[in-house]
Amino acid sequence: MKRTINFLKLRFVMITISLLLVAAGLAGYLVRGGFNFGIDYTAGLVQQIRIDPAAEKVGIAEVREALEEIEGVNLQAVGPAAQQQFTVKVIAPGEDPSFQNRMEDRLSELLGEAFGPGNVEVQSSDFVGPRYSRELAGQTVSIVLVAMLLILIYTTFRFKVRYATAAVICLIHDTLVMLGVIAVFQLEVTTTTIAAIMTIIGYSLNDTIVIFDRVRENQELMRDADLAVILNTSISQSMGRTLLTSLTTLLAVATIFIFATGDIRNFALSLMVGVVVGTYSTVFIASPIVLGWTRLADRRRRRRDVQLYGRQAAVPAAARREQAAAGRDEAAPEGSAAGLEEAKQQAPVSGAKSPVKVTRVQPTRKKKKKKKH
């Protein structure tokens, strides 16, 4: 049998750490002035350009210097440095129908002056309007809320309300920690970032359901055990599978983070943070919530039973069985004064039917002999 680790012993420490992480993310969001939204959510122009490596060796610093007079420009290197490919993003200041044509001409002019008109190739050019970006932001929020609601309904149907609520709180925790990391490091928020968040929500939920399934099985096998023991046993039994899955995922995502660039690299970084936080929250957030909710419900039930039926009725069934067993072991020998006293206490109350039928023997009367006269 595997050794059971008392994970819930650290639940208060871990919950405190989680609250500090969420608070640090909120502070980073305020200090950094909010999220670094990409063109998808702010509207603007996105161009992918290539500067001929045979004509001139150019780095991202030289390209940024050539475009420094354009306000709101964001520059990223794409692919190997030898290919000299860059993504240029310029945020639109507002409702300007001529912004796209005017900015495309301005970018071409500045890059041509810096590196030569024939050495700059525009591989793609896309424009996102303000109305589309607002609609996309609204759809993103709606998608996340609908996903949370469906998860709540699914877990409630499969388990109990307390398990479903713990799973959703766990997912909200993971999302807040990921958004905090994105805000602190000013990672660009794009549709790729939202895809990473939704991926981690599914990953964390799967891990939580695996442990809750094991808890449900162990509740049938360990009927008289305390819920904390059942939770620790279930987590310990699932820990090997959880660590193996998480480490395998981390290795794959870390490889993408090391070798990729641009949005894919940010996607990989978000996934790395989400995998670690999702694994941690399943053990130290979801399980303690279930334990605390169950114990609170038990205390309320015992308090209600005391008010209705007396103090003995509020004692848990397992404790009553243990008390009864202890009472039988310490019973006084038959015939002693203590035994007689115990027999009196266990005697049936007046008016109740006795399980033993007592037969009363009538005394025999002697017949009187008649005297002969």
In a domain? residue 250: yes
pLDDT digits (tens, 9 = 90+) for 174-214: 889 988 988 888 888 888 888 888 888 888 888 888 888 88
Closest CA to 125 of 51, 190, 47: 47
Same domain? For 89 and 200 the reply is no
Q: Which range, 19-28, 59-68, 274-283, has the best average confidence (pLDDT)? A: 19-28
Q: Would residue 69 count as lying in a domain?
A: yes
Asked which of 300, 333, 361 is the last residue of a domain, the reply is 300
> Is the pLDDT higher at 212 or at 372?
212
Residues 139 and 171 reside in one and the same domain: yes
Helix (H, G, I), strand (E, B) or coil at 44: strand
Q: What is the pLDDT of residue 323?
A: 54
Q: Which of 150, 183, 171 is nearest to 289 (CA)?
A: 171
Instruction: Identify whether residues 245 and 215 lie together within a single domain.
Output: yes
Note whether residue 331 is domain-resident: no
Verify that 68 and 96 share a domain, yes or no. Answer: yes
Supply the range of the domain harboring residue 109. 44-128
Q: Which pair of structure tokens corresponds to residue 152?
A: 């709540």
Residue 121: helix, strand or coil by DSSP? strand
Cα gap 313→348, rounded to integer Å: 20
3-state secondary structure 53-106: CCCCCCCHHHHHHHCCCCCCEEEEEECCHHHCEEEEEEECCCCCCCHHHHHHHH
113: its two tokens: 């002056």
Number of domains in the chain: 2
Determine what percent of the chain is predicted with pLDDT higher than 90: 2
User: Mind listing the pLDDT tens digit for each residue in 303-317?
Assistant: 887 777 765 555 555
How many helical (H) and strand (E) elements, i.e. helices and strands, does the chain have? 12, 6
Flag whether 185 is in a domain.
yes
Q: List beta partners, residue 36.
A: 188
pTM attached to this predicted model: 0.68
Tens digits of residue pLDDT in 34-57: 888 777 777 788 888 888 887 778
Q: Which amino acid is at 310?
A: G
Residue whose token pair is 């209705």 = 308
